[in-house]
Amino acid sequence: MNDKLISKKKPTYPINPFLSDYLEAYSRLIEIPIFYDDLLRFSGSVAVMNKHDQDSLWVRVFYSDSDRKEIDAQLKQVYASLHSDGSAMTIPYLNVDHIDYCTFGNSKPFRVKIRNILNDNAVYFYVKKADASRVYGLELEHMLSPNNLNFLVHRNTLIEEHIAGIPGDEFIKELLPKCTKIERNQIAKAFVKFNERCMIRLLGDMRSYNYVIIPIHDFDKVIYNIRAIDFDQQCYEGRLNVYRPQFFKENFPMVSLVKDHLTSESLNQYKIEERATIARRILGNETRLTHLLKCMLNDHISSPEKIKNLSAEVYQLTKQSSFLKSRSMGELMRASFHFVKRNYESHEMLRVNR
């Protein structure tokens, strides 16, 4: 896939009043004692190397003694709000081991490692600029994927929990060649479902380093799940293939896996299964999802040119006029969900009437 399909720099879209009200209604909006910009006051940094002694594109940042004491206390409070009830009861048992800053990508997040000094258990979370695209992506992931997500927003700052797993690029390079045939079949199935899920909900740029693979041991086998970890490209780009992980060159080993291990019948079966699962999640979250879509309908999260082009491409795929008539990313998203839900309900009706 040509990298020109991806905009080199996506703008940050502010949280509008409609989205802010939504976040407050669902306990995502909360006052926190520190902002993203506060963490930018670091006085020095060193490169963080990966396990192969290569530059990880993260740097470990350092603060003056006076700043560090205040920042540590504030980050412990953020942890308590994100993972508990916000009370100060656990704070004396927490330590901020380190703060890393990513120099790569749009969001330039800070990664904070919090350790419990009583048992050495550690948890990561991220401090990012609050971007409406990312918030929509997180909420849609929470409602329409197999995974719940925990995050908080305060003004221009987003606090996001860490999603554990093996980075996709690392898995493809180091672990995929060692997988058995049965495991490869299972990974191929997971990728087909992941690809379908991203396309339906318009989650873009799922190159291998933007998702993780999670092995789960189940009786005598290992099940592999694929989970997105970057939601910056939610409903922004104007090309449909951006929302289909199969078209990124970084994912070609996964695409080859699908071609080698799945028949066309299995491929269609897994697509239908994923669409049905998403339809059930849409129906199960209808009130909340409708509220979120109303926010998107009143928001500006892409350009008119991108929306027009994407509408035409989705129409060519589905032949549904509702896509062609869409004038915003919110309308496109609503049309996509209606399309999936309507197909599911019609098939359910046929099954019941047999």
Both 147 and 204 in one domain: the answer is no
Both 148 and 172 in one domain: the answer is no
pLDDT for position 129: 94
Both 229 and 136 in one domain: the answer is no
- The two tokens of residue 137 are 């992506």
Please, how many CA atoms are within 13 Å of residue 336, restricted to the half-sphere of its CB? 28
Overall pTM > 0.75: yes
| Of 264, 259, 243, 252, nearest in space to 306 by CA | 243
DSSP string covering 21-82: HHHHHTT-B---S--HHHHTT--EEEEEE-TTS-EEEEEEEE--HHHHHHHHHHHHHHHHHH
Contact 235, 296 (CB under 8 A): yes
Domain termination site, one of 116, 143, 161: 161
Domain termination site, one of 137, 161, 185: 161
Number of structural domains (the chain) is 2
pLDDT for position 7: 62
Both 120 and 265 in one domain: the answer is no
Residue 110 lies in a domain: yes
Both 205 and 299 in one domain: the answer is yes
Q: What is the DSSP-derived secondary structure letter of residue 232? A: T
Both 280 and 201 in one domain: the answer is yes
Question: Would you call 144 exposed, middle or buried from its count of C-beta atoms within 10 A (0-12, 13-18, 19+)?
Answer: buried
Both 96 and 178 in one domain: the answer is no
Residue 3 lies in a domain: no
Contact 190, 225 (CB under 8 A): yes
Average pLDDT of every residue of the chain: 93
Residue 2 lies in a domain: no
pLDDT for position 1: 47
Question: Would you call 258 exposed, middle or buried from its count of C-beta atoms within 10 A (0-12, 13-18, 19+)?
Answer: buried
Mean pLDDT by 10 residues, the chain (354 residues): 64 95 96 94 94 89 95 96 88 96 86 96 96 97 94 96 96 96 95 98 96 92 94 96 97 97 96 96 96 96 96 95 95 97 77 52
The range of the structural domain enclosing residue 259 comes to 166-353
pLDDT digits (tens, 9 = 90+) for 192-250: 999 999 999 999 999 999 999 999 988 888 899 999 999 999 999 999 999 999 999 99
pLDDT for position 177: 96
Pairing of strands 94-102, 110-116: antiparallel
Q: What are phi and psi of 217, to 5 degrees?
A: -80, 125
**To 10 degrees, the CA torsion angle through 65, 70, 72, 76?**
170
- The two tokens of residue 154 are 């305060």
Q: What are phi and psi of 59, to 5 degrees?
A: -125, 145
How distant is the alpha carbon of residue 289 from its chain centre? 17
Domain termination site, one of 139, 161, 183: 161
Rg (CA), the chain: 21
